[in-house]
Amino acid sequence: MYKVEGKIIYLSQRTSGVSKSGNSWSKRSATIECFDERKSKMSIVFFGNIEGVLTENYDIDDVVSIDIDINANEFNDKWYNNIYAKDIQLVRKHGEVENNEPRQDEPKSERSAKQHEKTKPQNNSFDDSDEDDLPF
């Protein structure tokens, strides 16, 4: 089992049906944009009870942490990967910003600059000397 954290960027419509054995099922998929350097995206399938949790509690732009299981299936001599959700937890609702914490969906360079600004001492004095290092 793996864990992935990211922002929900797409929620599919709910799909439901009846299996060959007569059991009803429902599923829904969510596309997550991960917080890695490449902003990787993955489509994750939510089945059964976990699908209901997704439908009732989560919206686009919510930041979530999802436990996933990856499985491959063969069909007509081709293999297909499936990513299934096992658990989902809310990290942050859309629009919420953690106090004094850099946003994880910001590029690292912006986060580093903000952290540097917090630690850099402020120099509010004015130096009236004629010497400066400007090229003009």
82-135: per-residue pLDDT in tens? 999 999 999 998 877 765 455 555 555 555 555 545 444 444 444 555 555 555
What's the mean pLDDT when you consider all of the chain? 79
Q: What tokens appear for 105 in the block? A: 């969906």
Would you say residue 28 has pLDDT above 80? yes
pLDDT score recorded for residue 54: 74
Query: Cα(64)–Cα(88) distance, rounded to whole angstroms?
Result: 7
Minimum mean pLDDT range among 21-25, 40-44, 46-50, 102-106? 102-106
Q: Tell me, yes or no, whether 100 lies in a domain.
A: no
Q: Tell me, yes or no, whether 15 lies in a domain.
A: yes
E strands, 12-133, in order: 15-18, 24-34, 41-47, 63-75, 78-92
**CB atoms closer than 10 angstroms to residue 8:** 21
pLDDT score recorded for residue 73: 92
Q: Tell me, yes or no, whether 123 lies in a domain.
A: no
Q: Tell me, yes or no, whether 130 lies in a domain.
A: no
Domain of 70 in residue numbering reads as 2-95+105-118
Domain tally, the chain: 1
Q: Tell me, yes or no, whether 126 lies in a domain.
A: no
Structure-model confidence comparison of residues 52 and 56, the more confident one: 56
* Residue 24 · residue 42 · CB < 8 Å: no
Query: Cα(31)–Cα(45) distance, rounded to whole angstroms?
Result: 9
* Residue 12 · residue 28 · CB < 8 Å: yes
Minimum mean pLDDT range among 41-50, 62-71, 109-118? 109-118
Q: Tell me, yes or no, whether 135 lies in a domain.
A: no
Q: Tell me, yes or no, whether 27 lies in a domain.
A: yes
* Residue 6 · residue 60 · CB < 8 Å: no
Q: Tell me, yes or no, whether 127 lies in a domain.
A: no
pTM of the model: 0.65
Domain of 14, CATH number, reads 2.40.50.140
